[in-house]
Amino acid sequence: MVVNAFVPAADYTGAPTWLPSGFGFFDNLSIAWNESGLGLGLANSLLYATVSAGLAVFSAALAGFAVVVMPTRRPTVWFWLIYLGTLLPLQIFLAPLFKAYVGAKVYDTSLGMILIYSAICVPFAFFIVRNFLTTLPPEITEAAQLDGAGWARLFFRIHFPLIKSSLFAAFIFQFTWVWNDLLFGITLTTSPDRRPVMAALAEISAGFSSLGPPVVLAAAIVASLPTVVLFLACQRFFVSSLRAVG
C-alpha cells in the first residue's frame, strides 16, 4: 500500500515491486484532494467523530453511574436494554432512519450525522464504562455520602476522575468507529460539504480506473492517520482501562 502510494500515477504499471519507481505521493494526494473533496471529508469526519464520541462517552458515563452506583431498580435489565444496541445489525435502522430524517429535515446535515453517530456509539461505550465502574469499591460511595455528598457531586468530583482511563478507551473505540463508518455516510448525506471522509474515499475508489491506484492508496493512507495518532497518544489510558475491565 505504501510503496504503490508513492508511485506517480502516470508511471504505475501494476507490476509487483518492493520499491517505488519515483516520489509521487504528494502529487497523488493532490489529485485525490481536488477530485473528491478529501479535505472537506476529513474536516467533517473530525467533527462527527470528536463530538459524537464525546457525547456518547459522557452519556455512557451517566448511564453507567446510574446502573452501578445509584440504587436503580433492576440494574441488570437496564444493562441489557442499553447494551442491546450493539447486538442489532445497523442495516435494520436505515429505512426508518432515512424516512425520519427526511421528515424532520435533518437529512444531509451535520446535526443529523452527529445525532445518529452519538446514539449508535452509546451502547458499547456504556459496556466499557459500566464494567470499569464495577471494579471500584463501594466504600468510596459510602464514605462520600457520609460526608454529605449528593449524586451530582459523587459523579463529577469522585467517580468521573476515577473512571478517566475507561472514558479515554471508550472515546478511542467510538472515535475510530465513527471515523471508519461508510454505511451512514453514504446513506444520510449527499452533499460534498456534509459527507464524511470514508464516503469521499469511496468516491475516489469509484474512479479507480481513471485516477489510478496510487491516488486511491495515497488518500487511504491520509484517511487512516488520525485514528493511528489518537491511539498512540492515548495508548497508556487505553491499556490500563482494558486491564481493569478484564
Hey, what's the cell of 51?
463530538
Looking at residue 116, its pLDDT comes to 94
> In 3D, which of 129, 103, 106, 104 has the Cα closest to residue 117?
106
Report the chain's mean pLDDT, rounded to a whole number. 86
Looking at residue 34, its pLDDT comes to 79
Cβ proximity of 118 and 181 under 8 Å:
no
Looking at residue 239, its pLDDT comes to 63
Query: Which of 7-21, 34-48, 99-113 is least confident?
Result: 7-21
Rg (CA), the chain: 22
Per-residue pLDDT at 244 exceeds 70: no
Query: Which of 82-96, 109-123, 187-201 is least confident?
Result: 82-96
Find the mean pLDDT for residues 208-226.
81
Find the mean pLDDT for residues 226-234.
84
Query: Which of 79-83, 111-115, 147-151 is least confident?
Result: 147-151
For a pLDDT cut of 90, what percent of the chain falls above it?
39
Per-residue pLDDT at 243 exceeds 70: no
Cβ proximity of 52 and 117 under 8 Å:
yes
In degrees, rounded to 5, the angle at the alpha carbon of residue 91 between the alpha carbons of residues 110 and 78 is 85
What is the residue type of 54? G
Find the mean pLDDT for residues 16-32.
79
Find the mean pLDDT for residues 149-166.
89
Per-residue pLDDT at 165 exceeds 70: yes
Domains in the chain with CATH codes: 2-217 (1.10.3720.10)
Looking at residue 86, its pLDDT comes to 82
DSSP letters, 130-159, are: HHHHTTS-THHHHHHHHTT--HHHIIIIII
- Residue 5's pLDDT band, with cuts at 50, 70 and 90, is confident
- Residue 25's pLDDT band, with cuts at 50, 70 and 90, is confident
> In 3D, which of 8, 65, 47, 9 has the Cα closest to residue 189?
47
Looking at residue 207, its pLDDT comes to 57
Q: What is the pLDDT of residues 122-154, one digit of tens each?
A: 999 999 999 889 888 888 888 888 888 889 998
